[in-house]
Amino acid sequence: MSQYNNLLFEVNNGIGTITLNRPKALNALNCELLTELNNLLDVILKDQSIQIVIVTGSGEKSFVAGADITEMKDMSAIEGRNWGKFGQSVFEKLESLPQPVIAAVNGFALGGGCELAMACDIRIVSEKAKFGQPEVTLGITPGFAGTQRLPRLVGKGRAKELLYTGDVIDAQEAYRIGLANKVVPAEELMPAAIALAEKIKSRAAVAVQLCKAAVNKGLNMDLESGVAYEAEVFGLCFATADQKEGMTAFVEKRKAAFTGK
């Protein structure tokens, strides 16, 4: 029996798939779900046999339709602040996992759902997906870092339009503005996410993880510090067996056999 009431988790061939599983509430994020996700991320963080993570939603209709509105309705200001901080910390943990994380967005990604998708590294989305930050229609701002990650992904002007209007956009528009990496037919969503995961998995794992760290940390630094950080991770690669193997394989005109070491 699963140890989680609101999540499914399976690992196949080094790919860990997290399925947010509250389909009756369109996978809305309640406190129990976020607590379970937080605990699961601690497990994944320590388990390097999990090389890539995919995050998706259960059911045909929704990735995540936001934070649970029924749970938030009667919150005080302090409770709201603490709920926001908790969700932010869970998404930060997801974003800073060493392993790459792919969101397979199968439907509504609204409010906290859009924020969750943005905390993932790459978003592969079904043509049925819909994105938006509709918080202002409920009298609140985004609270799980949507005001911060959205402009970083799509630029200040487009982010402000989405944030001020609460408009919901379709998959193609999300792709056009850079919120989605790729749009695929609904039935091809998981195969496409797994194919991408397999491709990334075939590369030198330490180098991929250091690319992730360099991009994430660099975005919070000035260019000079980010470039200096890159030099450090670049140097570190030369301490890996995969660097020796990758370059030797090139010189020997054969395919590299990486070990992740």
DSSP 3-state assignment of 107?
A: coil
Q: How far is the CB of 134 from ligand HXC (least distance, A)?
A: 4
The stretch among 1-9, 31-39, 83-91, 220-228 that binds ligand HXC (CB under 6 A) is 83-91
Q: Which amino acid is at 77?
A: A
127 tagged catalytic: no
Question: Which amino acid does the sequence have at 164?
Answer: Y
Parallel, antiparallel, or unpaired for β 108-110 and 62-64? parallel
Close Cβ partners of 73 (under 8 Å, ≥ 6 residues apart): none
57 belongs to the binding site for ligand HXC (CB under 6 A) = no
Q: Does 117 bind ligand HXC (CB under 6 A)?
A: no
Binding mask 119-158 for ligand HXC (x = CB under 6 A): ---------------xx--x---xxx--------------
The token pair at 76 is 């005080």
Give me the residue label for tokens 């949507």: 146
For ligand HXC, which is the closer residue by CB, 81 or 199?
81
Q: Given the complex with ligand HXC, which of 57 and 87 has the nearer CB atom?
A: 87
Contact mark string toward ligand HXC, 223..252, x via CB under 6 A: ------------------------------
Closer to ligand HXC by Cβ: residue 25 or 122: 25
CA 162 to chain centroid, in Å, comes to 20
Phi, then psi, of 135 in degrees rounded to 5: -55, -40
Q: Taking the C-alpha atoms of 54, 128, 181 and 156 in order, what is their torsion angle to the nearest 10 degrees?
A: -110
Q: Which residues of 193-206 are buried (b: 16+ CB within 10 A; e: fewer)?
A: bbebbeebbebbbb
The CA R_g of the chain, rounded to the nearest whole Å, is 19
**Which one of 6, 66, 97, 200 is in contact with ligand HXC (CB under 6 A)?**
66
12 binds ligand HXC (CB under 6 A): no
Catalytic site residue from 135, 173, 187, 232:
135
Paired strand residues for 20: 7, 57
Catalytic residue list contains 95: no
- Interface with ligand HXC (CB under 6 A), residue total 22
Query: Which window, 8-16, 79-87, 178-186, 244-252, contacts ligand HXC (CB under 6 A)?
Result: 79-87
CA 92 vs CA 52, 77, 169, 170, 207: distances in Å: 17, 22, 25, 26, 21
Least distance to ligand HXC, CB of residue 158, Å: 19
Interacting stretch for ligand HXC, rule CB under 6 A, among 1-9, 23-31, 197-205, 246-254?
Answer: 23-31
Contacts with ligand HXC by CB under 6 A lie at: 25-26, 28, 65-70, 83-84, 87, 108, 110-112, 134-135, 138, 142-144
